[in-house]
Amino acid sequence: MSRGRLMGHSVSIVTREKISQALIGRICSDGCDCFKHSISSEHREKISQALMDHLGTRRSVETRLKLRENKLRFYADEKNRKVASERTKALYAAGVQMGRCTPWTEEEKERISQGVRRAWCEGRRRGMGYARPNKVELLLEELIVDFGFQFVGFNQLIVGGKNPDFWNGDKKLIELYGDYWHRGQDPQERIDLFKVHGYDCLVVWENEVRTTPEQVYARVKRWMN
């Protein structure tokens, strides 16, 4: 868990949040020259409006790619992955998101989960990820659209607790496995899972779509026939 420093002592995130909540509404002493009171109300309103206007704006492709590369480098280190995972678990366990100091209830967790799913399906999920297929998914979609497949990777279809990437509206599914995110995974496990629920699944790897798209098309055609 990340820790801060206060008067020479280590302070946990939960403690800092409690201190923050306790200070809400406190008034500075007369003659205070802190930043909050050194600017006019009009200036603070302009700053607030500028921040609100920035929310929901879309980063450039170059910026998104740089952020993605930085994130991949960070999570490539097993130690970083473990630290990030433990920190996230601690935050949710403490319920410190959104100014809370109490844990989320199961009902609240389910409501939040449902809201996120609806946002993805409606294409409103911006800031935390793409609200549309990525480049490789778009490439594969172009190859298989003639076979009636459509992208359903934003939780439009859940089968056995998993969200497939493409669905033909019947009992055929296509999963696109990323070279990074799915490395070391056995595609047969996903195929077997969907088969239990009555779906026939084909797994295509990212490098296949990028390097040999014509072979991917031929493979899908044989599979469909």
pLDDT at 155 over 60: yes
Q: Choose among 55, 90, 63, 72: nearest CA to 179.
A: 72
Q: Is 0.75 surpassed by the pTM of this model? A: no
Chain mean pLDDT for the chain? 77
Task: Band the pLDDT of 176: cuts 50, 70, 90.
Answer: very high
Tell me what the mean pLDDT of segment 92-121 comes to: 66
Provide the residue ranges of all domains of the chain, joining segments of one domain with +: 1-24+59-104, 135-224
| 109-119 pLDDT tens trace | 777 777 766 66
Q: What is the mean pLDDT of residues 205-210?
A: 95
Compare 195 and 8 and report the one with higher pLDDT. Answer: 195
What is 135-224's CATH topology?
A: Endonuclease; Chain A (3.40.960)
Label residue 2 by pLDDT band (50, 70, 90). Answer: very low
205: which residues sit within 8 A by CB, 6+ positions away? Answer: 176, 177, 179, 182
Distances (CA, A) of 108 to 104, 118, 211: 6, 15, 45
Q: Confidence band (pLDDT; 50, 70, 90) for 7?
A: very low
Q: Residue 6: which pLDDT band, with cuts at 50, 70 and 90?
A: very low
pLDDT, tens digit, for every residue of 49-71? 776 665 555 667 777 788 888 88
